[in-house]
A = this chain, B = another copy of it.
Amino acid sequence: MRLKIEVDLDYHFPEATDVLLAVEVAQLPDQVLSEDRLTVSGSGPLRPIGAEDGIGRRTWMRAEGHCRASYRATLAVDRPAEAIGGLSESPLPDLPPEVVPYLWPSRYCEADRFEAFVDKTFGGQSGGARIEAMAEWIRREMDYVIGSSDVTTTAVDAFLSRRGVCRDFAHLMASFARAAGVPARLVSAYAWGLKLPDFHAVVEVWLDGGWHLVDATGLAPIEGLVRICVGRDATDIAFMTIFGVGAMQAQSVQVTRLDG
């Protein structure tokens, strides 16, 4: 699937502010970039750095006043739909060292507080089948309500309110998986076919010795996901982190299929 991605961010910063952008497509075997370009007006020189786990790219900018960032990419995604139901859990001692931290709870994924619920609700299953049952539970019990959460909302908050957006669904998914001893990380992504185009958040779980994508919202096909970067929770993968004060004025994300 060949995709074109167009992102436009229009922000205002009353004072000179460090801003970390994470909008660039990660170069990975199943998503191959033809070309991409990030252009920013209203910023000092850009400073690119790597992202977490060596996956993807981020860019520091020093923004002041009106600032427009524009990102354009064309790429091919070659990722077959995958049934994870048959995958088994990896023995814990086989986990690569860099995967181990994805067992831990994190700021917005209080996995430790879900252990009893996960054990009671999903204790009869294991491996990929258990992960699928968790995703189904989330789709069934949670309402997707735009505006129902904010940057302070944790997995526990969403579990209680039974509402959220992609970020919250992903936090629940990762929390449930970790509570069951399955490493899980958050993934920011562009998603072809998402009804209300925006940055998307999904999860990768570690099964059978590798990472596998899960979208607890079910709002977009796995085959059309384009990963940006990964991390423990929303705080690591934010498309924009402002170290000061800034206000969004306009923002758009478009993912267009070029073939098919």
Contact = CB atoms under 8 A, between A and B. Distances in A.
Interface of A: 18, 20, 47, 49-52, 58, 60, 62, 91-93, 95-97, 100-101, 104-107, 109-110, 112-114, 116-117, 120, 141, 143, 152, 156, 159-163, 181, 231-232, 235-236, 243
Given A49-B97, A93-B60, A97-B51, A117 B162 contact: yes
B93 A62 contact: yes
Contacts of A110: 107
A18 B117 contact: no
A231 B101 contact: yes
Give the interface centre of A101, A156, A163 by most chain B CB atoms within 10 Å.
Answer: A101
Contacts of A52: 97, 100-101
A120 B162 contact: yes
A104 B107 contact: yes
Nearest to A18: B92
A159 to B, nearest CB: 8
Task: Tell me how many chains of this kind the complex includes.
Answer: 4
A150 B7 CA distance: 33
Contacts of A104: 107, 235-236
A14 to B, nearest CB: 16
Nearest to A105: B107
B112 A152 contact: yes
B160 A156 contact: yes
A243 B160 contact: no
A-B interface, 8 closest residue pairs, ranked by CB to CB distance from nearest = A60-B93, A116-B162, A50-B97, A47-B93, A18-B92, A105-B107, A104-B235, A49-B97
Contact of A160 (B95, B117, B141): B117
Contacts of A50: 97
A116 B106 CA distance: 22
